Amino acid sequence: MFKMVSYQELISQLGIDYTHPGGKAATDKWLKQIPKNLKNVLEVGCGTGETLKQLRDHTTAFLYGIDNCANMTTKAKNKTKDLHHMEIMQQNIEDLSFIHQFFDLIISESVLAFTPIDNSLPKLTNLLKPNGQIILLEMTTSSLLPQDKERIKTFYQLPQLLSKEDWLKQLLDHGYETVYLEKVEKESKKPITLPQHLSMEMLQTLNEHFQLNTIYANDLHTYLFIAKKRGENDDHICN
C-alpha cells in the first residue's frame, strides 16, 4: 500500500499556479478593491508569483512575496524577474524579518488556515500600519461532526478548522474592523493542468483531496475577508 505525501508537499512539488480555492477569479474579486497610494505590500504564501504579477498591474507599491517552499520561490522569482519594485524571499510566517508597521496591505490566499492562527495573525498585524488592510481568502466550515472535522484537519494538517464567524472573531479580537465579506466559489473554472507523470503517493493524495471536497461540498466553504486595522481616529465599520 502506498503512503500518501502530505497535501502541502503535493502542492509544493506540483508548483501549480493559483492553487488557492477559486483560482484567478477569486483573486480578481479583491484586486478591484485595493486602496490607492500603497507604498509597501506583502503577500504571504506567494506560491509561483501569479498574484504578484497581477498586483504589479494594479499598484506602483513595492511588492514583497514570501513562501516557505524553495520550489515556489524559485518559480516566483523567474516569473517576476522583469518586474520592477519586487522582492521574493523564502520565509516562514513564524520568522518574518520585516519591521513593525511597515506594510499598507497584507495578502493571504489560503495560507493562514494552515498556520496556528493565534500566533500567525498577531505577527502579520504587527507588520501592518494603522488603517492598513489585510486580505484573507480562507477555508471555512459549517457544522460538522467531530470525526469529520478531525478527518479534514488530519489530511490538510490544519491546526484549526474555523467557521466564518470564527474568522470574523479572530479579526475583531486582533484589532481589525471587517469592511468586506464575501463567499466565493471554491473551484476555478479554468482546469488545472497536471504533470504527465505523477507518483502513486501523489495520486493517492490528490484522490483523497477530491474525495473530501466531494463528500463535504456543503460543509467546506471559502470566504474573502477584507479587514482594516484600527487606527486612533477610526469609526467602527462592519458590513
Query: What pLDDT is recorded for position 56?
Result: 94
Query: What pLDDT is recorded for position 20?
Result: 75
Residue pair 69/13 in contact by the 8 Å Cβ criterion: no
Query: What pLDDT is recorded for position 237?
Result: 40
Q: What angle do CA 147, 120, 112 make, to 5 degrees?
A: 55
Phi and psi angles of residue 231, each rounded to the nearest 5 degrees, phi first? -115, 175
Query: What pLDDT is recorded for position 17?
Result: 67
Domain residue extents for the chain:
12-143+159-197+220-229
Distance CA 88, CA 73 (A): 7
Q: What tens-digit pLDDT sequence spans the chain (239 residues)?
A: 456 778 888 777 776 666 777 788 889 999 989 998 999 999 999 999 999 999 999 999 999 999 999 989 999 999 999 999 999 999 999 888 899 999 999 999 999 999 999 999 999 999 999 999 999 999 999 888 889 999 999 999 999 999 999 999 999 999 998 789 999 986 655 555 566 677 888 888 888 988 998 999 899 999 999 999 998 665 444 43
Closest CA to 174 of 119, 223, 224: 119
Residue 91 three-state SS: coil
Alpha helices by DSSP H, 57-145: 70-80, 117-127
Query: What is the third-level CATH fold of 12-143+159-197+220-229?
Result: Rossmann fold (3.40.50)
Residue pair 91/70 in contact by the 8 Å Cβ criterion: no
Query: What pLDDT is recorded for position 236?
Result: 44
Which positions ≥6 away from 211 have C-beta within 8 Å? Answer: none
Query: What pLDDT is recorded for position 191?
Result: 54
- Measured between alpha carbons, how far is residue 82 from residues 78, 85, 87, 177, 190 in Å? 8, 10, 11, 36, 26
Distance CA 84, CA 69 (A): 23
Give residue 195's Cα distance to chain centre.
23
Distance CA 208, CA 7 (A): 9
Residue pair 55/30 in contact by the 8 Å Cβ criterion: no
Closest CA to 24 of 2, 52, 66, 60: 52
β-strand 86-90 against 103-109: which pairing, if any?
Answer: unpaired
